[in-house]
Chains A and B, each alone.
Chain A
């Protein structure tokens, strides 16, 4: 598949690049110390941090991967939003941000240090820093591969340009620059993809025609007629749906463990809320983010469903084929871009795609430079230096983060297996995290030793369970069962949900047991503002209803429930 651009499309792309750098440039003067550079001086309004909150997460995996899943699994993919994101985002806003923001911790690892101890922070900070570098590299690699495939652009040039632009705007304006650009990217993604979805849906003949055209897609693979357009009706058993997972694994694995683990503890997103100007604004950040987030399936999943419903030409799907002859689902959105958008709008759609990759990269770089500077450099390598020094180090870490990201991108293009292995290991590390935070925030008896060894145990349990489980049809090894294939799941997704459930439960139980067996290492006074029972409730007196987190959160949950019901 090849798309050719005309002058107007290039103009759209170049204008966008000029704007993101311009935003960085105009913020240069307000960068006066490390807190401005790494934390935006805690000065931003909630609507900005809120839109940045979803945009930072809206990387390559999101746009390309969700459309691919839309084609592969249909509307069930929305569970990644309605079950796998919104409840956790509301929980973060209502219950967790008072501790993150109120404790004045500058990062998520620093909260762990205040609440537990140094080793728990060190473990979390180090693994997180490595993960962000790899994620930004993977984003870069995915962007360059896609542009090479679609436009015939040079891979090296794409990496160099994308890295240079992200580096320049973060170097100039720090976290503020990343956040403001993420809002710009959010607007652009909506502006670029909305006409695409409209044209695709119109071509198919509207929603009811789409439902009808997806019936043969489902029945030809041996599923019930409505499988692609009903999100809950086919979750009774793992055999009844293409995801290969049943309701319990989905709700507990995705909806609870993975979703809360990501949205409530990943510094990449939490950092956006911490940049808000007040506790109230910080708490509203994920709630404001949840409103567009719940409608995002329209923009990113629907294209995949449309692509798979389009009439087959000569027996072939409209998607290009991969090397082994199966449709390349990752090309869903690019296929629609090439099919429907004329020059002009094509430039906007392509810019939206590029913007989504760049926001994912920049989010990782800004999270990396903060954790590196405050949690690793200041804590272990050079404590007690002047703020000037850490301000300087923040800039150095930005450059280093981008350079390491570039190295990772090339590593990813050369050794696919190493990347798969790393992502697997990161999964093991992340799965138990939410148990540690939950106990830390709501049980004052949880101790530093309990948290640290609970986390290690949970990570180990994830690895062991992965070694004992396998998805049906997969080869033992990197995919699991490297000990023995004792548990066989219908799909890799189901396997990963259960790995997460095992890791979380192990971490939870171990942390409780070890905490009870060890002495508390923090007094009640030290835990003030860090634990629920020892923190005064934030007051919402005198605020209008739309600024009260509890009211907004309840509305968000009610609408999500309604969406689940409508597309059940």
Chain B
């Protein structure tokens, strides 16, 4: 089966990360009162983005292996 799960996981989390980061950076800031003053969209978005990109990079490297 030539299906590599790292691609959809990587793509989904890169997309989610990018979405949250941009929403956190440019969206409404007033709502972060409820998340204890933390811009959690920006922070957690970066974490998800990093996870997604790691998966994509691992896939790009791993696919060269036989």
Contacts and interface: CB of A to CB of B under 8 A. Distances in A.
Asked if chains A and B come from one complex, the reply is yes
Q: Interface residues of B: mostly helix, strand, loop or mixed?
A: helix
Interface string A181-216: 001100110010001000100110000000000000
Nearest to B29: A342
Contacts of A41: 1
Contacts of B34: 339-342
A21 B24 CA distance: 28
A278 interface: no
Max chain A C-beta neighbours (<10 A), residue from B27, B35, B44: B35
Interface of A: 8, 11-12, 15-16, 19, 22-23, 26-27, 30, 41, 43, 48, 176, 180, 183-184, 187-188, 191, 195, 199, 202-203, 339-345, 348
B8 A340 contact: no
B41 A191 contact: no
A15 B51 CA distance: 17
A191 B48 contact: yes
Interface residues of B, number: 29
A75 B16 CA distance: 32
A339 to B, nearest CB: 7
Contact of B44 (A8, A195, A339): A195
Contacts of A339: 34
Given A22-B8, A202-B36, 7 more contacts: A15-B12, A15-B16, A15-B19, A19-B8, A191-B48, A342-B41, A344-B41
A430 to B, nearest CB: 32
Max chain A C-beta neighbours (<10 A), residue from B32, B41, B51: B41
Contacts of B8: 19, 22-23, 180, 184
A344 B36 contact: no
Interface in B9-66: 9, 11-13, 15-16, 19-20, 23-24, 27-28, 31-32, 34-36, 38, 40-41, 44-45, 48, 51
A343 B27 contact: yes
Contacts of B19: 8, 11-12, 15, 344
Given A8-B19, A348-B20, A187 B9 contact: yes
Contacts of A176: 1, 3
7 contacts: A15-B15, A22-B8, A48-B5, A184-B5, A188-B12, A344-B19, A345-B20
